[in-house]
Amino acid sequence: MTTVEQEIYEPLNIETAIELSKNLQLFDHDDHLTSEEIGDGNLNLVFRVKNEHSGKSVIIKQALPYAKVVGSSWPLTLDRARIESESLKRTYQLVPKFTPKVYFSNTNLAVTVMDDLSDFTILRKGLIAGNIYPNLAKDIGHFLAHTLFFNSDFGLNQQEKKVQSSRFINPELCKITEDLVFTDPFYDHGTNNIDEDLKPFVSTMLWEDQSLKLEVATLKKAFLTKGETLVHGDLHTGSIFVREEDTVVIDPEFAFYGPMGFDIGAFIANIILNYLSQQVHLRNQFQRQEYQQYLLNIIDESWNAFSEEFTSLWNQYPQDVFMNIDGYLEQTLQEIFKDTIGFAGCKVIRRMIGLAGVEDVECISNQADRNKVKKAALTLGKKLIVERSQIATINELVKVVSEHA
Amino acid sequence: MTTVEQEIYEPLNIETAIELSKNLQLFDHDDHLTSEEIGDGNLNLVFRVKNEHSGKSVIIKQALPYAKVVGSSWPLTLDRARIESESLKRTYQLVPKFTPKVYFSNTNLAVTVMDDLSDFTILRKGLIAGNIYPNLAKDIGHFLAHTLFFNSDFGLNQQEKKVQSSRFINPELCKITEDLVFTDPFYDHGTNNIDEDLKPFVSTMLWEDQSLKLEVATLKKAFLTKGETLVHGDLHTGSIFVREEDTVVIDPEFAFYGPMGFDIGAFIANIILNYLSQQVHLRNQFQRQEYQQYLLNIIDESWNAFSEEFTSLWNQYPQDVFMNIDGYLEQTLQEIFKDTIGFAGCKVIRRMIGLAGVEDVECISNQADRNKVKKAALTLGKKLIVERSQIATINELVKVVSEHA
């Protein structure tokens, strides 16, 4: 008989975070460590534990048993910490260059200990500041191709894929997306956050448009039922850390088996929102045109990098005998592209009127300017949803986006 | 501390089956019971334990840890017994009239104890004998509507659906379908079972047709990724027990979260195969026409009963706010119908040349007659796959089927 001591969940503090790091032998016992809590406190505690002498540091992330949103708080499963750490470990197998290394995780404590990326910037802030990241598009395309392919029936043994999918059943966090991305913004719902001035526009543009709602219903159903691959589930520009030449994707707590296009669409949507916001941020016309062109190139290049790498993996590591049939790859990419555009449209809309805005747009202090950007985004988001079957190539998508600046 | 005695798997025999029934208090301790093994022994042991005096009896089904197929045997998970009993219990909640009641199940023993249906006939045998079951189509339509709707995101809380889906991850039995229905018949594969005379026809009709294979690849992908609802997974006419006016669906060991159209397609495919076989079985033209018309009516009526009942459930028990959007129900039914036709086509083909034939056709002793039926079935099966988007209504489907007699 073995006696198993089961750890009881308790939120860490600055001291116990240091203690845990030492117990895990990530530092020597007599190292002098500092610890600070650097999370935003809405969903998780995030500690940086550091040996100031050697400069070595780690991040300890611990899920909180609730989510704080706009003043209120609701209970939220700690299981998301397990999902996050399992997703990080799986992703590290596939694309270590773009993933923080996990040193320790514990389901009972809802804790993940991982690489500190303190010399990285959150991509969203970098883009708002107008910075250029020369490898970003290529890196994200590579990340998407490898994670989406090797977790799918195309690149993973089809029986292992089923077993793996059972570890990523994520009802509570999927529900957040189902409600806040695919439902509430399309109704006059209490969770929305809309300037009074915008309401009539939103009402006509979204809430009264039954044909739009039918398309959103179709996309929501795909989110609910299309278990193609292990998606990150929340791949906006706040989930991407960048340095001049490096890209790391973090925070996969929304991970689940969903449609391939969902992650690509989330990324593109957030580039689009930055693109539209630069209409206000960059007053100098030359600078603006140049930076907006850079953002359009990110959309174009990330898709092309994804589809080229996906094609290469498809040809090199086929798990299904049908994968050498003429036209199957092209049909698959076309379907992913169509889903990508539709999901991007939903993501754009939800960020303009839903519970969670994006700093790119919300930081525009002039209300008229801000609402002008929001109207452009809502118009574009709707177009992406409704016309996703007509937009056949990434060039056409870029053209449609550029017409909405 | 509790000590849990874990039962160790051991195949039952006639004596231990009686013992188990008494231990479960399904009979009195001093009842005189008889026991016989009535399974076909390929996958499961099936015991009927009976009190000859009172007439009361139960069925004890126990999974074997292997499958015997065409002389060889391969290991097969006992977990399918858990899946079967959980599926039966869930189905009994929804449609008790059409489901055997489970009295006991045990995962370690891989045992399910349930209603004895000894006064029922396997539908396949009843149809081969040319019997008429007036309620069959309506019953199956009702069964399909209730099970497919209430296990889907349309009729079940969308978070509960995710949790439920985790209990029906069924890699090994899904692989049987992936290989034997969606792959091997479309290649010159060792598991196929083809008369030499038919080979050139099959080669031209299936193996050399790249555009057919692209469509099959698309359907296989739907089987692999479209987690719409808890399907039975093997709803052929051998999984349906009938009496004059009663219908009971058994053997859901292939149950998993898959596409709505899969069960409907399996049922229709097997009606089609009986329909085509009657071309030989019923030599009297008048009798043949009458019975074949009855079979066509089953196809027509079962779909109509399904879609009417599904519509009624959709309107009464919507789980999603989008379900009242104009056109969403129609679009959903159209998609289910298209999948149904495609899956029916695959099922028809696999039964003609794959590992497992159907008695309806295999019992035709004259080789020329048998191969004529097989050719008609292969031609029709292919048409259903390739033209599933063009066949828009159940009447059109019936017409297409009738043209292949």
Contact residues on chain A for B216, CB-CB shorter than 8 A:
322
Report which DSSP code applies to A323.
G
A369 labelled binding-site residue = no
Do residues B241 and B287 both lie within one domain? Answer: yes
Do residues A126 and A185 both lie within one domain? Answer: yes
Q: Of A115, A146, A172, which residue sits at a domain end?
A: A115
Contact residues on chain A for B226, CB-CB shorter than 8 A:
225-227
Q: Which residues contact B362 (CB under 8 A, 6 or more apart)?
A: B370
Chain-chain contact of B183 with A321 (C-beta, under 8 angstroms):
yes
Residue of A nearest to B161 (CA): A171
Average pLDDT over residues A154-168: 98
Do residues A68 and A151 both lie within one domain? Answer: no
Q: Which residue has the tokens 């039918």?
A: A214
Average pLDDT over residues B352-365: 93
pLDDT (tens digit, 9 = 90+) per residue, B190-233?
999 999 999 999 999 999 999 999 999 999 999 999 999 999 99
Least confident of A295-304, B3-12, B150-159: B3-12
Q: Give the pLDDT band of residue B40 (cuts 50, 70, 90).
A: confident
Q: How confident is the model at residue A361, as a pLDDT? A: 96
Contact residues on chain A for B225, CB-CB shorter than 8 A:
153, 226-228
* Alpha carbons A38 and A44: distance in angstroms, whole number: 10
Do residues A326 and A395 both lie within one domain? Answer: yes
For residues A375, A211, A271, A93, the Cα torsion angle rounded to the nearest 10 degrees is 150
Chain A and chain B share a number of CB contacts under 8 A equal to 101
Do residues A97 and A183 both lie within one domain? Answer: no
Contact residues on chain B for A255, CB-CB shorter than 8 A:
none
Q: How confident is the model at residue A2, as a pLDDT? A: 45
B187 vs A162, A224, A321: nearest CB: A321
A214 vs B153, B158, B327: nearest CB: B327
Q: Which residue has the higher pLDDT, A26 or A1?
A: A26
The CATH code of the domain that includes B49 is 3.30.200.20
For residue A176, give both structure tokens.
């957040």
* pLDDT > 60? residue B255: yes
Mean pLDDT of all residues belonging to chain A: 95
Residue of B nearest to A172 (CA): B159
* Run of H or E residues at A49: strand A44-51
The shortest C-alpha distance from B315 to chain A (Å) reads 16
A165 vs B169, B320, B331: nearest CB: B169
* pLDDT > 50? residue B249: yes
* pLDDT > 80? residue A59: yes
Average pLDDT over residues A312-329: 98
Angle formed by the axes of helices A210-225 and B328-353, to 10°?
40
- Say whether B241 sits in a helix, a strand or coil: strand
B158 vs A224, A257, A326: nearest CB: A224
* pLDDT > 80? residue A41: no
Mean pLDDT of all residues belonging to chain B: 95
Domain of B270, in residue numbers:
121-402
Reported ipTM: 0.95
Q: How confident is the model at residue B91, as a pLDDT? A: 98
B321 vs A183, A225, A228: nearest CB: A183
* pLDDT > 60? residue B111: yes
Q: How confident is the model at residue B1, as a pLDDT? A: 40
Average pLDDT over residues A101-116: 96
Q: How confident is the model at residue B72, as a pLDDT? A: 59
How remote is the C-alpha of A278 from its chain's centroid? 21
Average pLDDT over residues B143-156: 98
Do residues A208 and A339 both lie within one domain? Answer: yes
Do residues A108 and A133 both lie within one domain? Answer: no
Closest among B66, B65, B61 to B85, alpha carbons compared:
B61
Number of domains in chain A: 2
Q: Which residues contact A245 (CB under 8 A, 6 or more apart)?
A: A133, A134, A135
Q: Which residue has the tokens 């229905």?
A: B181
Report the share of chain A in percent with pLDDT over 70: 97
Do residues A154 and A66 both lie within one domain? Answer: no
Chain-chain contact of B183 with A217 (C-beta, under 8 angstroms):
no
Do residues B56 and B128 both lie within one domain? Answer: no
Q: How confident is the model at residue B43, as a pLDDT? A: 84
Least confident of A76-80, B72-76, B259-263, B394-398: B72-76
B169 vs A163, A320, A327: nearest CB: A163
Chain-chain contact of B175 with A165 (C-beta, under 8 angstroms):
no
Do residues B96 and B153 both lie within one domain? Answer: no
Do residues A103 and A77 both lie within one domain? Answer: yes
Residue of A nearest to B164 (CA): A169
Average pLDDT over residues B104-119: 96
Chain-chain contact of B225 with A327 (C-beta, under 8 angstroms):
no
Q: Are B344 and B384 in contact (CB under 8 A)?
A: yes
* Alpha carbons B12 and B60: distance in angstroms, whole number: 9
Do residues A91 and A202 both lie within one domain? Answer: no
B61 labelled binding-site residue = yes
Radius of gyration of chain B from Cα atoms?
Answer: 21
The shortest C-alpha distance from B252 to chain A (Å) reads 18
Q: HSE on the CB side for A124, CA within 13 Å?
A: 18
pLDDT (tens digit, 9 = 90+) per residue, B64-89?
998 766 555 778 899 999 999 999 99
Which of B176, B260, B321, B331 best probes binding to A when mutated, by most A CB atoms within 10 angstroms? B321
Query: Dihedral sign, CA of B272, B176, A91, A19?
Result: positive
Closest among A155, A138, A332 to A229, alpha carbons compared:
A155
The shortest C-alpha distance from B65 to chain A (Å) reads 18
Q: Give the pLDDT band of residue A5 (cuts 50, 70, 90).
A: low
Q: Of B98, B115, B132, which residue sits at a domain end?
A: B115
Instruction: Count CB neighbours of B186 within 10 A.
Output: 28
Chain-chain contact of B166 with A162 (C-beta, under 8 angstroms):
no
Q: Which residues contact A165 (CB under 8 A, 6 or more apart)?
A: A227, A230, A257, B169
Instruction: Count CB neighbours of A144 within 10 A.
Output: 29
Q: Of A84, A115, A146, which residue sits at a domain end?
A: A115
The CATH code of the domain that includes A145 is 3.90.1200.10
Average pLDDT over residues A330-343: 98
- In order of A220, B41, B287, B371, the CA distances from B363 in angstroms are 48, 21, 19, 12
